[in-house]
Amino acid sequence: MRRENAGQIRILEAFFSALVIFSAFAVSSNIPVSQNVSRSSDLASIGMQALIKLDFDGSLGRYIDDGNWTGLREVLGVVLPEGTSFNLTVYNEQMVQLNSAVISNSEFGSQTVTCAEYICVSQRSAFHSYIVRLYLAMAA
């Protein structure tokens, strides 16, 4: 190669480099990308919906009044969407835990855990209010 053509070769190299970089961006933008949208806000929302639906006819208060923790765990397992891990804790007004058994379907791993907090009032003649905390995560 003659010394006087070296500049032209450098321009060609720069041109091809730029072409390669821009084509990389152009091609990669068209490669399908899976949507990795966080579902934590949706989970909290559906957890809250589940508690509201169960409380609409007073069922939630009845489970707590009766200490029916098995029933509450089974119902939550059916109502919450497939693949949801949950752990529910019931407190009284003094924030003393009431549930004597664990109301959960599985252990939480390293997933993002979200929480829905709901105040439930018993529909029986004696007034009782409960604070229900429902922790939720998508099973790994």
Partner 1 sequence: MPAVSVDTFFACSLMVMLVLSAMAITTKLVFPSMNATSNRNLAERYKETSKYLLLNTGKPSNWGQNSQTALETFGLAKPNTDSEYDLDRDKVSRLNTENAYGLSYPDMFTSLEIPDLSFRIKIEPLFEVSTKLAGAFLSGDDTVYEFEISTDKQGAPVSAQLKIYVVAGEYLNSMSVLVTNGRISQNITLSNSVGGPALLIVLARSLYNDKIVSFDALAFAHNSSQPISRRTLLKLSPLDYSLNVSLLDSTIVLTDAHALTFSYNSTLLLTSNTTMSTTYAIPRFLDDSMTVLVVTGWNSTTFFAEWTIYPQVPVENGADLANSSTLSSIFSFTYLVTIDSSIYECTIWVGGPKE
Q: Which residues bind partner 1 (CB under 8 A)?
A: 20, 24-25, 27-29, 31, 33, 35-37, 42, 46, 49-50, 52-54, 56-57, 59, 63, 68, 70-72, 74-75, 77-79, 81-83
Least distance in angstroms from the C-beta of 65 to partner 1:
14
CB nearer to partner 1: pick between 11 and 20: 20
Least distance in angstroms from the C-beta of 1 to partner 1:
13
Least distance in angstroms from the C-beta of 93 to partner 1:
26
Is the separation of the CB atoms in 131 and 90 below 8 Å?
yes
CB nearer to partner 1: pick between 50 and 130: 50
CB nearer to partner 1: pick between 72 and 88: 72
CB nearer to partner 1: pick between 11 and 33: 33
CB nearer to partner 1: pick between 78 and 96: 78
Least distance in angstroms from the C-beta of 45 to partner 1:
8
Q: In what order do the strands lie in the sheet with 84-91?
A: 103-104, 84-91, 129-138, 114-121
